[in-house]
Amino acid sequence: MTDMAPAEVARRALPLVDLTNLDDACTTADIDALCARAVTPHGSVAAVCIWPRHVVQAASLLAGTGVNVATVVNFPQGGDDTLAVVAETKVAIADGADEIDLVMPYRAFVAGRRGFAEEQIRRVRAVCGEALLKVILETGEIGDPLLIHAASNVAIAAGADFIKTSTGKVKVNATLEAAEIMLTIIEELRREGGREVGFKPAGGIRTLDDAAAYLMLADRLLGANWVSAAHFRFGASGLLDALLAALDGREQTTAKGY
């Protein structure tokens, strides 16, 4: 595939961004600023992704913009208290969340408790209603490609609308290697006539080259027409700056791979 100009990569990536602030010290003023950035002169991001305590505020600020409000549950630890996670999800939905990013209990999964992990996801899915459910596998902590493959299948079987790489809170977050495993499973499911499942790389995606690499991978595996906000998101806090710089003509570096 020939190189694509930075502005072209940015134009394609901007509506796929889940603009994120999951800093422990995030304030209401930070949420005001985040929501203001979500609607740009070049178009809107797909969603903001924030702590549950800020959902009511963000939902009010973004009403009518078309930008969804995503929040995190069981985050970032991926703990085992399913009742608490279900209760947390119910509150988030009642507060106005459009999307739930659930950290699967990945330590339990790696320890061999796959049925427990699947049941937690199923129970969260059951209370999501119309909200999208993105299941965070924490691929950098799982590590083993075979286990990443298995975790993807467990999450999909339990009702995930998206499978997501990472919390962004561990040493190894999104990688192209994990992304290829996850996207291949999505492609196989699609080829077999199964339901559409989306993909979200998150953590460490900051540059045009980062975005281009994931878009190119998705195009190769699923076709150039597959990528849209309904099927693909970038979980990022810093990527939007690079995209806007390119769209404003302030980025000089060609995005390699396009």
Catalytic residue among 101, 134, 161, 210: 101
Annotation says 171 is catalytic: no
Give me the catalytic one of 98, 134, 164, 210.
164
The answer to whether residue 200 is catalytic is yes
3-state secondary structure string, the chain? CCCECHHHHHHHHHHHEEEEECCCCCCHHHHHHHHHHHEECCEECCEEEECHHHHHHHHHHHCCCCCEEEEEECCCCCCCCHHHHHHHHHHHHHHCCCEEEEECCHHHHHCCCHHHHHHHHHHHHHHHCCCEEEEECCHHHHCCHHHHHHHHHHHHHCCCCEEECCCCCCCCCCCHHHHHHHHHHHHHHHHCCCCCCEEECECCCCCHHHHHHHHHHHHHHHCCCCCCCCCECEEECCHHHHHHHHHCCCCCCCECCC
Set 18, 98, 200, 210: catalytic member:
200
Active site residues per annotation: 101, 164, 200
